[in-house]
Chains A and B, each alone.
Chain A
Amino acid sequence: MFERMTGGLRGIGHTAIDGVWRIGYASRFFLLTLFKSGISFRRFGLTIKEIYFSGVLSLIIIVVSGLFVGMVLGLQGYETLQKYGSEQALGVMVALTLTRELGPVVSALLFASRAGSAITAEIGLMKATEQITAMEMMAIDPISRVVAPRFWAGVISMPLLAAMFSAVGVFGGYLVGVVMIGVDEGAFWSQMQAAVDFRQDILNGIIKSVVFGVAVTAIALFEGYDAPPTAEGVSHATTRTVVTSSLAVLALDLVLTAFMFRG
């Protein structure tokens, strides 16, 4: 009985220590990446190449999703606003929802599953096939040559993708609200312009998406770098990237929103 209890406690202790150790290890990895970012900027071509892979290749899914989300917002928003006779505020509603929340959050979630998983799988496979070791044996630091450019590419791509998502979303809302349902076009745009504040709404949205970009890319890179060098290890790591970074995005969103939009 006593044995069983202490065994259980010991198990909990082990899990906790492992967890803390892993967080420490991840933080150290993150700091090293920042510290060794020189090459990513001195040879910006390396970063551009990764922006192409993670950013440009995510464009299609971002644009298509943005359009759908915007159209749904148009439909739902119209339904609700019309009850209060204020359907002309549809443009404001769609634009604020997108720039403040859905743009950064949904595009980050999409980015995590499209680009994040790809980054983890790529780094994990590079490790499993000894490419990372080979680089180290050539006296080239894989963190500065492989990890850092991918990190900055993610951080740069994320706000651009989020902006793209919001822009397309607004257009989707316009299609449904103005073109299909017949909300007044002048009111749709002019109210939107009057109500959306650059600092309060747009800038905060950009800050959010930068933070999400850091979180998603850092998690994806760490999971790949830390993956056991086997097919199974890489596949687990890929799954973990999507789950962890999606949760991180949602949790960070709550925290950031609480700070940004209290007043």
Chain B
Amino acid sequence: MSKDNLVEINNVSFGYNKRPVLKGINMAIPRGRVVAIMGGSGCGKTTLLRLIGGQIKPQQGEVRVAGQVVHELDREELYKMRRRMGMLFQFGALFTDMSVFDNVAFQMREHTDLPEAVIRDLVLLKLHAVGLRGARDLMPSELSGGMARRVALARAVALDPMLIMYDEPFAGLDPISLGVIGNLIRRLNDALGVTSIVVTHDVHESLQIVDYVYFVSEGVIVAHGTPEEMRQSAKPFVHQFVHGEMDGPVPFHYAGEDYGADLGLGHV
């Protein structure tokens, strides 16, 4: 366990209803960095975030956040840890009975004694950062998919957490918002010293903003490295993914098995 890693995932296996999804994953997320987790649909990226947040327990191995083994925490300790985590859910998960403003203000009101005037300023600041200050009075049902995602992002960072997990932050965004949100993730990270985990399909955008990339396929990590290494990588899987080729040198589902065995699940 290195002090420099905020999150460490050690040999974690997990499956829903006995069907294995993750098979011995090892991963390290250094403090203050932006790390991307990429992989095909259904490969278990959201599941990984759930494990880090302590929503589910690994069947084998352990997840450590700030040195603590997540699945060994009791409820109170887990809640204490979660107060310092922000999570952007893949489908937004905005509270449908509250306005955009109240959604972002929710945690501030629940967890702090800040006066309403201060909360107002903070909420408007967060909404301004995602370009939706003018939408504060709308209800979630009145938002477009991309707008909802940006509100959810503002809500995830409302309390300036130490760890932010973004599940598909770029899905459903137009090219302009996509660039803005990408920059926002990067800036939040650098300005506040946050550690960020970005789960995404968007290779092009994420390779520009992240420090490190993990590729997951068939429940194992098939490749990892800096964006530059990934761009240069000769590994067929990575090449295929980075360049978005339909027919890679190795057919997609075959590739996973091969590399899984190849890498021996160990080192990372």
- By a beta-carbon cutoff of 8 Å, the part of chain A in contact with chain B is 122, 125-126, 129-131, 133-141, 145
- Decide yes or no: A130 and B91 within 8 Å by CB, A138-B106, A138-B110, A145-B110 being known contacts: yes
Q: What's the minimum C-beta distance from A149 to chain B, rounded to whole angstroms?
A: 12
Q: Which of A134, A141, A145 contacts B89 (CB 8 A)?
A: A134
Does B259 belong to the interface (CB within 8 Å)? Answer: no
B55 near A133: Cβ-Cβ < 8 Å: yes
CA distance A134 to B53 in the complex (A): 11
Q: Is the CB of B93 within 8 A of A131?
A: yes
Contact residues, B142-167 vs A (CB, 8 A): none
* Distance A131 CA – B89 CA, assembled complex (angstroms): 9
Bound CA–CA A7/B97 (angstroms): 48
7 CB < 8 A contacts A-B = A130-B89, A130-B91, A138-B83, A139-B79, A139-B82, A140-B111, A141-B79
Q: Which residues of B contact A122 (CB under 8 A)?
A: 97
One of B55, B80, B96, B107 near A138 (C-beta < 8 A): B107
Complex Cα distance, B93 from A76, in Å, reads 54
| Chain A: CB-nearest residue to B49 | A137
Neighbour of B82 across the interface among A126, A137, A145, CB < 8 A? A137
For A126, the chain B residues whose CB sits under 8 A away are 95-96
Least CB distance from B107 to A in Å reads 5
Q: Is the interface of A mostly helix, strand, loop or mixed?
A: helix
Interface string of B71-96 (1 = CB under 8 A from A): 00000000110110101010101111
Closest residue of chain B to A132, judged by CB?
B93
Contact A134 B107 (CB under 8 A): no
Decide if B55 touches A137 in the complex (CB within 8 Å). yes
Q: List B contacts of A140 (CB < 8 A).
A: 106-107, 110-111
Q: Say which residue of B53, B96, B106 sits within 8 Å of A129 (CB atoms).
A: B96
In the assembled complex, the Cα of A133 lies from the Cα of B89 at a distance in Å of 9
Q: In chain B, what residue has the closest Cβ to A137? A: B87
- Counting from the closest, the 3 A-B pairs by CB-CB distance are A130-B93, A134-B93, A139-B79
Query: Quick check: B79 and A131 within 8 Å, CB to CB?
Result: no
| A116: min CB distance to chain B, Å | 18
Docked Cα-Cα span, A140 to B85, in Å, equals: 12
| A26 CA / B82 CA spacing, docked (Å) | 27
Contacts A129-B93, A129-B96 given; does A136 touch B80 at CB 8 Å: no
Interface contact B55-A139, CB-CB below 8 Å: no
| Bound-complex Cα distance A136 to B85 (A) | 11
